Amino acid sequence: MLRHIQNWKRPMNSNLAKQVRKSSVSDNANRDIGDPTQPRRKKAAGDPDLRAVIGIEEVTLKSRKAKRMQEKLLKSAAIVFSQKGYTATCIADITASAGVAHGSFYRYFEHKDGVLQELLVGLYEELAQATRDGSTVGDDDIPPTESRLREFNLRFFHEYADRRGLLRVAREAAASSVDGRFRDIWFLMRGRFIDRTKKLIQRMQSHGMAVGLDAELTAEALGSTSEQMAYVLVGLPESAPDKDRLTAIGLACHEVWRRTLFPSASGELRESSHDP
pLDDT digits (tens, 9 = 90+) for 109-167: 888 998 998 899 888 888 777 766 544 545 566 778 999 999 999 999 999 999 999 99
* Phi (first) and psi of residue 18, to 5 degrees: -70, -30
C-alpha closest to that of 107 among 39, 54, 61, 38: 61
> Which sequence spans correspond to the domains of the chain?
16-273
pLDDT tens per residue across span 63-113: 788 888 989 999 999 999 999 999 999 999 999 999 999 999 998 888 899
Quick one: angle between helices 215-230 and 146-162, nearest 10?
Answer: 40
CA distances from 3 to 7, 65, 106, 237 (A): 11, 15, 7, 38
Buried b or exposed e, range 192-213, using 16+ CB within 10 angstroms: bbbbbbbbbbebbeeeebbeeb
Architecture of domain 16-273: Orthogonal Bundle (1.10)
Q: How many CB atoms lie within 10 A of CB 57?
A: 10
Q: Reduced to 3 states, what is the DSSP secondary structure of residue 261?
A: helix
Confidence of residue 7 (pLDDT cuts 50, 70, 90): very low
Q: How far apart are CA 196 and CA 48, in angstroms?
A: 13
Average pLDDT over residues 49-65: 66
Residue 180 is predicted with a pLDDT of: 84
* Between 61 and 24, residue with greater pLDDT: 61
pLDDT tens per residue across span 240-263: 999 999 999 999 999 999 999 998
Q: For the full predicted model, state whether its pTM sits above 0.85.
A: no
C-alpha closest to that of 163 among 36, 27, 25: 36
Residue 11 is predicted with a pLDDT of: 41
Residue 270 is predicted with a pLDDT of: 39
